[in-house]
A = this chain, B = another copy of it.
Amino acid sequence: MKETQDKRISSAVISRLPRYYRYLGELRESGVERISSNELSARMKVTASQIRQDLNNFGGFGQQGYGYNVAYLQQEIAKILGIDKTYNMIIVGAGNLGQAIAGYADFEKRGFVVKGIFDINPELTGTMIRGIQVRMAYEMKDFVRNNNIDIAALTIPKESAVEIASMLADAGIKAIWNFAHTDLNLPKEIVVENVHLSESLMKLSYNMANRLREEREEE
């Protein structure tokens, strides 16, 4: 794969890659070594031509009439997604959401290693969450600098998120996984991936409302 090819890939294709990765992982686990785009299409409920088009963006990994090598294809998608590397992560906010993230063994399996959890509540000092020590927020800046932390997951209220994000930016963080319900407005070198749960819930209610409108029109 030539590096220059990457730039032309649409964000729609990129957003579909994790799903390919997941299905290929399940196929590997069940011992499947090779799969045709038609079989993959039936499992994933997308058209075979969509699959071929998506994968052709990366030079195409299949051979006509021979299908895809499952392990190889998964590995190449891992490279494109950057999950063939290891990242050091901290979690900022030791509440339920922070604890939920700390508890996902899957993240660590994919190379996202949680190195520290931070909170402002002094009562939590020294407590352990899944073997990781909770530290105080004032230690965060030095910790990020001294431990090559790449990613910070922000699971804190929106009121403090903007300030903490810019402190993390000063400390050299490369990416923020933002669960706080606000925009962060950081320098563009810093990757921000937002998970706004209430926006997701609004999309759900929009689709419910829309379904009702359609039903009414059909009557």
Contact = CB atoms under 8 A, between A and B. Distances in A.
Interface in A129-161: 150-151
A149 to B, nearest CB: 13
A120 interface: no
Given A6-B213, A15-B203, A96-B97, A150 B208 contact: yes
B3 A213 contact: yes
A204 interface: yes
A200 B204 contact: no
A42 interface: no
A95 interface: yes
Contacts of A100: 95-97, 100
B150 A177 contact: no
Interface string A1-42: 001101000000011011101100000000000000000000
A207 B193 contact: yes
Contacts of A72: none
Interface residues on A, range: 35 or more
B99 A199 contact: no
Contacts of A101: 197
Nearest to A191: B207
Nearest to A15: B203
B191 A211 contact: yes
A107 B204 CA distance: 13
A64 interface: no
Interface in A179-213: 181, 183, 185, 189, 191, 193, 195-211, 213
Contacts of A196: 18
Interface of A: 3-4, 6, 14-15, 17-19, 21-22, 45, 80-83, 85, 87, 95-97, 99-101, 103-104, 106-107, 110-112, 150-151, 174-175, 177, 181, 183, 185, 189, 191, 193, 195-211, 213, 216-217
